[in-house]
Amino acid sequence: MSMSVPGSGGSDKVMSDINTTPLVDVMLVMLIIFLITIPIITKTVKVDLPNARNIATVTKPENITVAVDTAGAVYWNGGAVADRTQLLNLVVAEARKVPQPEIHIRADRNARFEAVGRVIYIIQQGGLVKVGFLTEPHSGG
């Protein structure tokens, strides 16, 4: 608290300064109240989120690229795949190799998720465990 003490001359002057001490006390109390109540108010589901890494993919010669276009057609390293059994046979042949190669899926932005899901399911059935998705880097705009 602040207090006005008369000077040695004995003259009583009116204090014209604003006393900000009560204002600061009230603001600090409000800050403490908000700091305590905000975490209680926000209700979220507890999940363990993965850490994002921005590492450029190094393409090795043994990596396999599977592309899916807008029509749902599948391409194995640039060559068209006729049907699901041919894709499964290609995946099984690659799954037998030691070490197993990585499969990179390149899906068109407008491709149906159903077509991409079928490709992922066939890769899972074939026994390959290293699967990744290739995307365009974020332009930052």
| Sequential DSSP letters for the chain | -------TT---PPP-S---HHHHHHHHHHHHHHHHHHHHH-------PPPP--------TT-EEEEE-TT--EEETTEE--SHHHHHHHHHHHHTSSSPPPEEEEE-TTS-HHHHHHHHHHHHHHT---EEE--PPP---
Say if 86 falls within a structural domain.
Answer: yes
- Mind listing the pLDDT tens digit for each residue in 90-111? 999 999 998 899 999 999 988 8
Assigned domain for 11 exists: no
Domain assignment present for 97 = yes
User: Domain for residue 13, yes or no?
Assistant: no
Q: Are 30 and 36 in contact (CB under 8 A)?
A: no
User: How many folded domains does the chain comprise?
Assistant: 1
Residue 13 has a pLDDT of: 73
- Other CB atoms within a 10 A radius of the CB of residue 85 amount to 10
Task: Please check whether residue 57 is in contact with residue 132, taking contact to mean a CB–CB distance below 8 angstroms.
Answer: yes
The answer to the question of residue 127 being in a domain is: yes
Residue 44 falls inside a structural domain: no
Decide if 111 is inside a domain: yes
The residue range of the domain holding 73 is 64-133
pLDDT of residue 46: 67
CATH number at residue 125: 3.30.420.270
Q: Does residue 87 lie within any of the structural domains?
A: yes
Per-residue pLDDT tens over the stretch 17-73: 788 888 899 999 999 998 888 777 666 666 666 665 666 666 566 889 999 999 999
| The pLDDT of residue 81 | 94
What's residue 122's pLDDT?
A: 96
